[in-house]
Amino acid sequence: MNDTDTILKQISEILLRSFIVAMALLILWLVIYLMIGNYWYISHTKFFDLTEHELSLFNYAGMGLFKILALCFMLGPFVAIKMVLGIKKNKDLVLIGF
């Protein structure tokens, strides 16, 4: 295994951990919103003229955007790096004669 493979493996591990943290934050956001939704609405209406429906839409859209960004920028590159490392490993096995 050369330096490039080592660096790619480390980057993939970082991306996977980042994705797990992002999903944990998303779940935390959902749990907090579900548990204190009414208080959340009351505290936000002091600053913004929002209906309860609009606040729910903003939270739902924010969660969706956060999830899409995590999938695109953390899980996507992780899968791509793992595919590259897997293809390279298979080519190395073919060159050895297995």
What confidence tens digit (pLDDT) does each residue in 65-89 have? 999 999 999 999 999 999 999 887 7
pLDDT digits (tens, 9 = 90+) for 36-71: 988 989 998 899 999 999 999 999 999 999 999 999
Structural domain total, the chain = 1
Round to whole Å and give the CA distance between 18 and 14: 6
Vertex 17: Cα angle to 15 and 23 (nearest 5):
100
Give the Å distances, CA to CA, from 73 to 18, 25, 67: 10, 16, 10
Instruction: Name the residue range of residue 65's domain.
Output: 3-96
pLDDT value of residue 89: 75
pLDDT at 87: 81
Mean pLDDT of 12-17: 98
